[in-house]
């Protein structure tokens, strides 16, 4: 298969530096896509580097497979959702790892005229599933959700102020089967717009709801920490405030020495930080990158490093010793 050059990996140099890629390292790309990031990670981790690439979209994986073919058996590919990150890594005996990358959102391969319905710029069925084997599609949500639930989804996941009017219009126009039909309905109740098309936020909300993106992200971040070896890096690139809020909150919590509610006279949580923030604020693309790749404009990258305290290390050693002792008695 020919390399699809329409996909440009975002903040590529920063991702490789953030992961601190070294020769012989083991890395997980949780959103493999066309392997734009993965191919450079592999190149920098030679000799001896290994990579486990995960993506829910089988069409993207067929491209990635060809683009990573030169690395042979050093690359493992899993057609799965990163919400199952821990199970995937254990199934491939790929632990612990030196770095884990998340490049969130929808890729340029999916936004194009793929017939998957991610964009209102191309007429296609209302699908929006990353994995076509998944049962519920965007059409199911649009055509079966009660008006109040539809309004809640559009407001929560799209941060759309006109969510109630849009939901009412959608329910009144049912059944809707194509992207153009849905976008036209939204336009009719959102007259006059300047920079942002009135259907943008609703399409984002439907995509997030269809793929349960935010729920799976929260779960995957927790799993990622447990898979990283000491000094391993976690790099997350997000593209809208909902994703970044989850990532920022998680990293702050896991890097804090105290997570007690404000106002307590002394710490009682006994929280042990598992991460160290590499940068307190998010990194953003350079002006040169945003000029050549407009999709990167909204990107934010956050980086953290796994730390294992002496106390936690002692507990792990004691736990392993107890298991060995019990096994010897049996």
Query: What are the pLDDT tens digits along the chain (330 aa)?
Result: 333 345 689 999 999 999 999 999 999 999 999 999 999 999 999 999 999 999 999 989 999 999 999 999 999 999 999 999 999 999 999 999 999 999 998 876 777 656 689 989 889 999 999 999 999 999 999 999 999 999 999 999 999 999 999 999 999 999 999 999 999 999 999 877 667 899 999 999 999 999 999 999 999 999 999 999 999 999 999 999 999 999 999 999 999 999 999 888 899 999 999 999 998 899 999 999 999 998 899 999 999 999 986 544 444 444 444 444 454 454
Distance (Å) of CA 170 to CA 156, 157, 166: 17, 17, 6
Q: What is the rounded distance in angstroms from the CA atom of residue 203 to the CA atom of residue 120?
A: 8
Mapping DSSP to helix (H, G, I), strand (E, B) and coil, where does residue 226 land? helix
Q: How confident is the model at residue 295, as a pLDDT?
A: 86
Q: How confident is the model at residue 308, as a pLDDT?
A: 86
Q: How confident is the model at residue 113, as a pLDDT?
A: 57
Q: Are 209 and 150 in contact (CB under 8 A)?
A: no
Q: What is the rounded distance in angstroms from the CA atom of residue 251 to the CA atom of residue 234?
A: 10
Strands 75-79 and 228-238: unpaired
Strand partners, 238: 300
Q: How confident is the model at residue 313, as a pLDDT?
A: 45
Q: How confident is the model at residue 165, as a pLDDT?
A: 97
Q: How confident is the model at residue 122, as a pLDDT?
A: 86
Q: Are 150 and 210 in contact (CB under 8 A)?
A: no
Q: What is the rounded distance in angstroms from the CA atom of residue 216 to the CA atom of residue 129?
A: 14
Q: How confident is the model at residue 7, as a pLDDT?
A: 67
First to last CA, the chain: 55
């Amino acid at each position: 298969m020919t390399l699809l050059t329409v996909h440009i990996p975002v903040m590529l140099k920063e991702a490789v530096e953030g992961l601190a890629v070294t020769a012989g390292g083991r890395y997980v790309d949780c959103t493999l896509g066309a392997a734009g990031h993965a191919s450079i990670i592999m190149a920098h981790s030679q000799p001896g580097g290994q990579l486990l690439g995960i993506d829910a979209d089988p069409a993207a994986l067929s491209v990635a497979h060809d683009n990573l073919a030169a690395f042979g058996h050093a690359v493992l590919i899993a057609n799965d959702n990163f919400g199952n990150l821990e199970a995937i890594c254990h199934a491939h005996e790929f632990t612990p790892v030196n770095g884990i990358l998340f490049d969130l959102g929808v890729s340029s391969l999916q936004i194009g005229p793929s017939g998957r319905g991610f964009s209102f710029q191309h007429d296609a069925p209302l699908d929006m599933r990353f994995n076509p084997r998944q049962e519920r599609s965007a059409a199911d949500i649009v055509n079966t959700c009660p008006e109040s639930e539809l309004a809640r989804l559009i407001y929560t996941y799209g941060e759309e102020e006109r969510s109630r009017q849009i939901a009412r219009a959608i329910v009144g126009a049912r059944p809707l089967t194509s992207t153009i039909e849905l976008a036209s309905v939204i336009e009719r109740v959102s007259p006059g717009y300047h920079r942002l098309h009135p259907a943008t936020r609703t399409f984002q909300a439907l995509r997030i709801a269809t793929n349960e993106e935010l729920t799976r992200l929260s779960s995957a971040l927790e799993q990622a920490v447990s898979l990283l070896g000491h000094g391993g890096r976690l790099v997350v690139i997000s593209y809208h405030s909902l994703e970044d809020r989850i990532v920022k909150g998680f990293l702050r919590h896991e890097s804090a020495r105290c997570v007690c509610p404000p106002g307590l006279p002394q710490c009682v949580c006994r929280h042990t930080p598992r991460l160290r923030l590499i940068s307190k604020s998010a990194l953003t693309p350079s002006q040169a990158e945003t000029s050549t790749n407009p999709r990167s404009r909204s990107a934010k990258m956050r980086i953290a490093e796994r730390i294992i305290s002496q106390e936690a290390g002692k507990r792990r050693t004691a736990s392993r010793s107890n298991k060995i002792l019990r096994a010897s008695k049996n």
